[in-house]
Amino acid sequence: MTEKRASIETPAPIRAGRPTREQADARHAQLLDCAFIHFLEKGFEPTTIEALAAEVSMTKRTVYARYPDKASLFRAAVRRGTERRAASPETITATRAETLEQTLINIAMLRIELAGTPEGVKLQRLINTEAYRFPDIFQTYYEVAALPTVRFLAGILEDETRAGHLAIEDAMLSANVFMSMVVSAPVRFLISGNELPAQDVDRRVRFAVRLFLKGAEPR
């Protein structure tokens, strides 16, 4: 079920000159990818526009023409980096299983697997570290990385409630609570630098899923 993630290796520099529209778009994407790697590895403060411009063979003037300051470049780089590593709609849909319990387990494991990759852990740490300076990046991460899965889960909960299998009053709220309950604790554990054996993740997820379903049963 694990989806192949995009490589974070810096692409080979594109030669300078008067670029076509396609080349300009490619250079812009290269700038954002390069910036994301630098921010991920070094953090916001140590990363410099000068270093980024040099690495992608741009002038600082070209960079500043698109982004007036490092903060705006940081936000754009975090968004692109998150988008490139988010689960595709096809991957999210593929979590649907024959039983509701297994579907919820698959959804939880998908989120944990994506957040628990080396790049995912670094991204979570970067967001946590820089949230005081950029509180909006929490919302960006949620909208790009989590919300599509939450909406998919909410649709399932609504279907199961209509069928009489669950008693869910607010599907979106319930889906968000499920994610917090099942996913947040293992991800926080991984971000802290601790190892979490696969069997422990499986046990935690299955226990939490059963607890959630028990609480959502019709009374």
Rg (CA), the chain: 20
pLDDT at 6: 45
pLDDT at 116: 85
Rounded to whole angstroms, the Cα distance separating 33 from 193 reads 25
Any idea which fold 21-84 has? Arc Repressor Mutant, subunit A (1.10.10)
pLDDT at 2: 44
pLDDT at 160: 97
pLDDT at 23: 81
DSSP annotation of 69 reads: S
Rounded to whole angstroms, the Cα distance separating 192 from 180 reads 17
CATH code: domain 87-215 is 1.10.357.10
Give domain limits for the chain. 21-84, 87-215
pLDDT at 194: 77
Nearest of 131, 128, 127, 215 to residue 178 by alpha carbon: 215
Residue numbers of the chain with a pLDDT score lower than 50:
1-7, 14
pLDDT at 5: 44
Q: Summarize pLDDT for 137-164 with one digit per residue, the tens.
A: 999 999 999 999 999 999 999 999 999 9
DSSP annotation of 56 reads: T
Helix (H, G, I), strand (E, B) or coil at 62: helix
Q: Which helix (H) or strand (E) holds 28?
A: helix 21-42
Q: Summarize pLDDT for 164-185 with one digit per residue, the tens.
A: 999 999 999 999 999 999 888 8
Q: What is the pTM of this model?
A: 0.83
pLDDT at 188: 83
Q: Give yes or no on whether 21-84 and 87-215 have one common fold.
A: no
pLDDT at 139: 94
